[in-house]
Amino acid sequence: MEDLFSTGWLSPDGEYIHCSTMDHYSVATDIVEERNIPCESSYYLDALTEHGWIQISFQRLLGHGYIFLYDGNNHATDAQKEFLRKYFDEEEEWVSEQGIRDLRYLGVIDDEEFQTIKDKRGMKW
């Protein structure tokens, strides 16, 4: 990864667009406008996730670590899974419990690996 706490947006075709933890909205606005992504509201974060983009964020408070925000109606593409697998392999210690659950849902880690990680970390659920 570019640096520790690297956050940004991941397109359905696996393109990673880096941004700081505080710039997700402004970068989302740029992406939506530059790529003419349909948006029914002015909340561009939702527009991107509705069109299959995944937001990679780092929470510094409660349960700090990486999380992956996505639209629950979409699943990760193969390109996204490949990128997130490499991301996870490099940053595993910094992925939060919620992030681990996100990666399981997205199909980046399977049930067996999830259980191994859950046991290793002492995760309750």
Give per-residue pLDDT as tens, 58-94. 987 666 789 999 998 888 999 999 999 998 998 888 9
In a domain, 65, yes or no: yes
pTM of the model: 0.88
Residue pair 33/51 in contact by the 8 Å Cβ criterion:
no
Q: List the domain range (segments joined by +) for residue 117.
A: 7-121
Structure tokens at 34: 């530059």
Strand order of the β-sheet with 54-59 is 16-19, 7-10, 54-59, 65-69
pLDDT of residue 34: 94
Handedness of CA 32, 36, 41, 47 (dihedral sign): negative
Which residues, given as ranges, of the chain have pLDDT below 70? 1-5, 61-63
Structural domain count, the chain: 1
Give start and end residues of each alpha helix (H) in 20-93.
24-35, 44-50, 78-91
In a domain, 34, yes or no: yes
| Cα 39-45-46 angle, rounded to 5 deg | 60
In a domain, 2, yes or no: no
The CA distance from 28 to 53, in Å, is 10
In a domain, 1, yes or no: no
pLDDT of residue 17: 95
Other Cβ atoms less than 10 A from the Cβ of 69: the count is 16
In a domain, 111, yes or no: yes
pLDDT of residue 64: 79
